[in-house]
Amino acid sequence: MSLLYSFIILMLIFFMLEAPILIQAQSKKNSLVSAIFIFGDSTADPGNNNYISTPFKSNFSPYGKDFLNHVPTGRFTNGMLANDFIARYVGVKEYVPPYLDQSLSIEELKTGVSFASAATGFDPLTPKISNVISLSKQIEYFKEYQEKMKAAIGKEQTQNLIKEALFIISAGTNDFVVNYNTLPIRSKSYTLSTYTDFLLQHVQLFLQKLVDQGARRIGMVGLPPMGCLPIVITLHSDDAFSKRNCVEFYSSIARDYNSKLQNKLNGVQIKFANLGSRFAYLDIYGPLMDMIVGHKYDFEKANYGCCGTGLVEGAFLCNPSSYVCKNASKYVFWDSIHPTEKTYYLISQTFQPTIDSITK
């Protein structure tokens, strides 16, 4: 008993000695980033679409079944998004809330929000198809956000807040999958190559607007292997109901876009170097391919979603009446389009070195 008692005392002393170090380390990380601001589509929307008139919502079960208190927040997954994990990593907050939630306090707003809207894209036509928030409107909301903060904490503090914040942008998949390759409008006017260039022109304009608004630390997420999305396999694969292999054509589009995006970011970095701006490409293609094809992690299903049949479900097609797999962590995808919380967590981990490079 005396040995056990001594061991417990030693552990308590050890914890008391270590605790200040742990707190100091967390405080140090907090000082590197003032806030986090998110722009983009359903990979980054924590619930903004709840507040607009669109069918592309996910504020109902089984979405959010593994989130805190099993609440369907409007995130298109079973739990947290990659940006929630990133917010925790940089030490600013536990979850990134949607900007359109009017109940947010000034303190909550101060550490960052997401302006993202599911089903949007860089092409101005893409958000019109689904009646969602365009990227240009997201910038307008960001300007509105700054006015709120200036009124609450003053102009100088707001400018410093923005300067030391981390910005993450994630969009582009809907432009190709929903817009270009589904509707005849853009495909009649552009080849795939010229459409990619058209999108990247809008990316550059968006980055210019962010920099004009004071952003200095910007991470841009590339496109995933679109040919491996379960819905793309279902609709476009020759073996959609047997082997369910990825559709190379769609993944090749993503690779070409990502290559050009990296070149674009390098050019933007040079252009705004005098302002102290830092831009980084966040690779989602490689990590997802490792999960889907490389079997790097212990996923059991990579070509079906967890919700429903896993073939075509997304948004209202994944609903309280849908079948749901028992353990979403065994699946790369939650529905036929969006990753599971576990996938987002693993992706966020691969982003960490790149995020460090623009925040330290």
Of 84, 335, 336, 348, the catalytic one is 335
In the chain, what's the furthest Cα-to-Cα distance? 82
Q: For every residue of 119-146, which 3-state class applies, written as one string?
A: CCCCCCHHHHHHCCCCHHHHHHHHHHHH
Measured at the CA of 314, the angle between CA 38 and CA 310, to 5 degrees, comes to: 125
Q: CA–CA separation, 287 vs 283, rounded Å? A: 7
- 295 part of the active site: no
Cβ atoms 329, 80 nearer than 8 A: no
Q: Positive or negative, the Cα torsion across 219, 225, 230, 236?
A: positive
- What distance, in Å, lies between the first and last C-alpha atoms of the chain? 49
CA 140 to chain centre: 20
Of 42, 114, 170, 237, the catalytic one is 42
Of 34, 84, 202, 338, the catalytic one is 338
Q: CA–CA separation, 145 vs 133, rounded Å? A: 16
Residue 201 tokens read as 């022109």
Q: Which residues are catalytic?
A: 42, 335, 338
